[in-house]
Structure 1
Amino acid sequence: MTASPRRSTWPATTHVILALLTAIILAGAWYLGAALWQILVAASAVGLLHGGAVAARRRPWTGYAICALAMLILVLMPFPGWSPSMLPSAVCFPLTLWRLTSQVSVRSSVVALGVAVLGIVLTELVGWARLPADVSWWTRLLDGGLLMLVVAGVWLGALLVRRRHEAGRRAESERLAAAVADERAGIRRDLHDVIAHTVTVMVARIEAAAVTTADPATRRELGDIAEAGRDAHQGLRAMLATVAPRADSRPSQVPISLDALPDLVASAASSLHAVTFAEAGSRRPLSLSAEVAAVRTVQEGITNALRHLEPPVEVTVRLHWSPAELEVEVRDDGGKARRGAGSQGTGLMGIEERVRTAGGTLSIADGDDGWVLRARLPTKEGA
């Protein structure tokens, strides 16, 4: 909270210091014989310089024009040995050039630079015409060269600082866009992995209840509910494609454990969907990404079997442990028949990315007796 007042008082303090130094120089010039009207005109030009510098904070072109007019007055005013660069308040002109260059387009800043160069040329021509006989001509060239270096340095410095600020803003904008895209992809991934799977299991169990019920009206009602569930699932898939049309390779951060697999398998079973779980070998430690990939592979395999196959369907989930890797296999028997393919989702693409990110491999086999989804994931011992 203390930095802001210092930032706001710094320009005012600078103006006061420059004005006091300029007043001392003008007082010395009057003491050495300058006419009163010359001092008054110079003081008025100095006031324009400081006023233009203040105006440039909100209106860069207006402030720059005011400062350029003030410098023109100082240059053209007849004053023996006079040079505008001698006044401390003349610093206001390059300051407005800096502010203008940092705020307007590059083409406009080149125009402002041209105005400054033209002013320096005019200054040196007027100074040359008033050059005393005992002063060497090369002093005007030296003076003009130094002024050119100052103006060009101010312009280039402002341009470089502006480019750096623009690069920083672009980098920040890209970082924010990447964060938003990453968050959208995470939402899409969680919707697909959790809600889509749950809707598929619900539809499968409703279909099983419709087949086993003896009441025709109940059977029709359950069939309508199952159809509505399938429509909702398709709508969800369309929404997910809109949210993130390309597959996301970011590993999910949802804390999922292999201990949840028995309940996941049991929740998918119904009277027409026999989903079983088996595990062989001693469990080995897995990385978080590998454990998530294993659970999501099982989930995706079950979801695809229940969604694409007409019941009755048998699905077998098997985990086989070895010291170096975990093999996850989801196998179905092909069901009674296959349903229409429908729209193609990105579930398997997402699973493949998860498995690959975890350092494993994924294979999909389509045989006469059904689909086999198999993931091989390294354990921490085999990694």
Structure 2
Amino acid sequence: MGTTAPSRWTHLLLTRVRAADAARPWLWDGVLTATWTVAALVDAGGGWRNVARDPSLPAGLVLVLSLALSLPLYARRRHPTAVLAVMAAAALVSEASGAFLQAAYLQALPLFHIALSRPPRRLPWAFVLLLVPPLAGGLRFDGPEWHIHLTSALWAYVFVALAGIALRSRRDHTASLVDRARRLEVERDQEVRLAAAAERARIAREMHDIIGHNLSVITGLADGGRYAAAKSPERAAQALDAIGTTSRQALGELRRLLGVLSAPDDSPDAVRTPQPTLADLERLLDGVRKAGLPVVSELPDPLPPLPPGAQLTVYRVVQESLTNTLKHAGPGATATVRLTAAPDAVLVAVTDTGTPSGPRGQGRGLTGMRERAALYDGTLDCGPLPAGTGWRVRLRIPTAVPTAPEEHRS
């Protein structure tokens, strides 16, 4: 605890200083410039003679040089290279005249900002500006301490440049992490929207198939029952029974679908009952026959193995095709459902022999069938029979189908 508390306070203090600097940079620059200007003027008051090679220099020259080495610091962040050039010129005069002002070391501040915010190619030129003054002073006032003066200045500037490079690398790394987090957040939001759109499309397909098919069957049964009521009340009663059975079946499927939407995934109420499979095709065909459409089926025994989602796709395509036949084929139409197991795929063909009473394939059903087939790398094509009478829907589902993003269960 004793070691973490000071570091926490230090971090908090640095955070507040950075925030104040970002909010009012002019104030921070003014305070720093004023502080170093006062220090330079104090040295110009007489302390400079302790290290000067020529203590007899005019006080006015020393004052001007001190101001030239401190006042430009106010613009060090916006124009560090220009500030360093001005200060290097003053440092050159200071070294060549023998003043050897300590304020020359303030050149480290614009050097730091060059390393921090400017292209790396400017650093060699900055070091040229920094080393020319001490070299000029050494050439004019050669002495045993000249090498020490040059070496110490060089190492000080190298350390400052490395500090600026390190801080720049950390800042760039932090900025890249922030940018990556922002992009990940955007991608996550996009994935959520895409998942929601895909789920809406899936629900739309399910609702279309369930409601569209069962309502078509109910309509056919109701029409047949109305015509049979006058001549055969028993047939009318059978039609009413079939209407009730179909309605209950549709309500049961809708409840399963809506129950999945309303219950959380981890809820015990979210028991997901499998949707119809190939084994339910005969029951589907019986319902269509009761609605008044003669259907001939050719189904293999045993039924070919397919994943549950692919079986649902076959079931829904057959259901939608027969629903379209009920709606558009006209009176007297018949239908044939043929399911064949090929070595590498399952082939489904649904044909009817009726006279079209309106355009087919213009609504949501055809799009839904194609989307279902595409989920399992299947293909679907439909159109009129070559003879010009009737309609055909053909579906091909590979036996080794990929796993869909989400199995169609409810």
TM superposition score normalised by structure 1: 0.57
Are 2:184 and 1:184 equivalent residues in the alignment?
A: no
Cα distance change, pair 343–363 in 1 and its aligned pair in 2 (3 A) = closer
How far apart, in 2, do the equivalents of 1:276 and 1:256 lie? 20
Larger Rg: 2
Are 2:26 and 1:12 equivalent residues in the alignment?
A: no
Measured on the aligned residues, the alpha-carbon RMSD in Å equals 4.3
| 2:230 match: secondary structure | coil
Q: CA deviation at 1:328?
A: 1.7
How far apart, in 2, do the equivalents of 1:254 and 1:346 lie? 24
Runs (5+) with no aligned partner, structure 2 = 45-74, 119-167, 241-272, 402-410
How far apart, in 1, do the equivalents of 2:363 and 2:20 lie? 59
CA contact (8 A) 2:324 2:360 kept: no
2:281 to 261, 265, 269: 261
CA contact (8 A) 1:272 1:311 kept: no
Moved more, 196-205 or 158-167: 158-167
CA contact (8 A) 2:383 2:391 kept: yes
How far apart, in 2, do the equivalents of 1:372 and 1:306 lie? 14
Q: 1:53 corresponds to which residue?
A: 18
CA contact (8 A) 2:76 2:113 kept: no
Cα distance change, pair 211–338 in 1 and its aligned pair in 2 (3 A) = farther
How far apart, in 2, do the equivalents of 1:322 and 1:342 lie? 29
Moved more, 269-278 or 201-210: 269-278
Q: 1:244 corresponds to which residue?
A: none
Q: CA deviation at 1:279?
A: 1.5
| 2:362 match: secondary structure | coil
How far apart, in 2, do the equivalents of 1:300 and 1:355 lie? 13
How far apart, in 1, do the equivalents of 2:289 and 2:218 lie? 10
CA contact (8 A) 2:220 2:291 kept: no
Are 2:98 and 1:147 equivalent residues in the alignment?
A: no
| 2:305 match: secondary structure | coil
The sequence identity of aligned pairs, in percent, is: 23
Cα distance change, pair 275–372 in 1 and its aligned pair in 2 (3 A) = same
Are 2:330 and 1:333 equivalent residues in the alignment?
A: no
CA contact (8 A) 2:80 2:113 kept: no
Are 2:358 and 1:346 equivalent residues in the alignment?
A: no
Matched residue type, 1:71: L
Q: CA deviation at 1:302?
A: 0.7
Q: CA deviation at 1:175?
A: 1.8
Deviations 1:195-220 (A, max 9, x none): 222222222222222333339xxx9x
Are 2:291 and 1:291 equivalent residues in the alignment?
A: no
Are 2:393 and 1:373 equivalent residues in the alignment?
A: yes
How far apart, in 1, do the equivalents of 2:337 and 2:277 lie? 16
Runs (5+) with no aligned partner, structure 1 = 1-5, 19-49, 83-113, 223-252
| 1:362 match: secondary structure | strand
TM superposition score normalised by structure 2: 0.53
CA contact (8 A) 1:277 1:318 kept: yes
